[in-house]
A and B are shown apart, each in its own frame.
Chain A
Amino acid sequence: MISARAYGDNGKMKEYHYTGPVEHKFSPYAFNGGTVLAVAGEDFALVASDTRLSEGYSIHSRDSPKCYKLTDTTVIGCSGFHGDCLTLTKIIEARLKMYKHSNNKSMTSGAIAAMLSTILYGKRFFPYYVYNIIGGLDEEGRGAVYSFDPVGSYQRDTYKAGGSASAMLQPLLDNQIGFKNMENVEQLPLTLEKAVQLVKDVFISAAERDVYTGDALKICIITKEGIREEIVPLRKD
C-alpha cells in the first residue's frame, strides 16, 4: 500500500520535475537494522538481540544475531552497520587477547567498556556506525550494563535499549524496570525470571511495530555460573 505521502496536500499527486542528472555519492555506510537490549540485575546480566539482518527493503538473513561473547562474564551487542560491527568485534577480540597475554588475566567488564570508548573515539572523524551495549558482571559479581554512542561516549546503566527499535523499547523499560512515572508502587528488585520474561515481551512488541526487528530473539544470560543462551521465535513478516 502506498502511504499518503505520495499525494500532495490538496489530494492531487505531486508533480515530478526533471531536475537533470543527479550524482549519487558513494556512502561508506549502510543501515542493517536490528535491536539490542541489555539489563543488569543484582547478580546477573542479560544481553538480548533480534536476529534479522536487513538492508533497505530486503532481508539478508534471518539468523544473524547481534550478541557477541567476549569473555566468560561479558557479552557485547552491536547494531547498526553490519560491516563495522564485524570489524569492531574483531578488533575488540584482538585487544582482549593482547591484554590477556600481557597481564595474565581476562579483562573486566569495566575495563572492556573503557577500552571500547577509546577504540571508538580513535575513529572520531570517520566513525564506526555501530550502537554498542556491553552487558556483564563487574568485579563484585553484580550486573553491569554499559551503553555507547557511535564515537565512544559511554555510561554505566541498569538497562538500555539500542538499535532501530530503541526508541520504542526504552520508555517501556523506564517504566517497568526504572519505575518511572509510577506512583505508590512497591519497588521490588528485578529477579532473573522476571527480567527474561520482560525482555521476551518487549521484543515481541518491538517486532510488531518496527520493520527492521523480528525473526528470532537471542538472549544471553550471564551469571556467575557462566553464559546461557535462549532462542525465542518472533514474527517473520
Chain B
Amino acid sequence: MAKKSMIARDVKRKKMVERFAAKRSALKTAFESANDPMERLEIHRKIQALPRNSAPNRIRNRCWATGKPRGTYRDFGLCRNQLRERAHKGELPGVMKSSW
C-alpha cells in the first residue's frame, strides 16, 4: 500500500485543482485570444502566479484501493494487481477471461 502521506498529498492536489479550475480556464482562454505579445506576457505571468498544486497535470491517478501510483487503469481506477484479484472474484461487471 502506498504511504498515506503520498495519498494525502494527491488528495490535497485534487482539491486545489478544483478550487482554481474556473480561474485557470478563464486565464487560459484569455491567453489564447490575446494577440498582443505584451498582453500575452501579462496573462502568462498571472498564470504562473497561481499555486503549483492547482495544475491538473500534477495529479497522479492512483489506484483507489491501494493508492498505487503506477500500473493504474483509468477504466477501473484500479491498479493491475487489484484489477486481477477482483476480476477473478467476479466483482468487475462484464469482465471475463478473454480467449479467442
Answer yes or no: do A and B interact. no
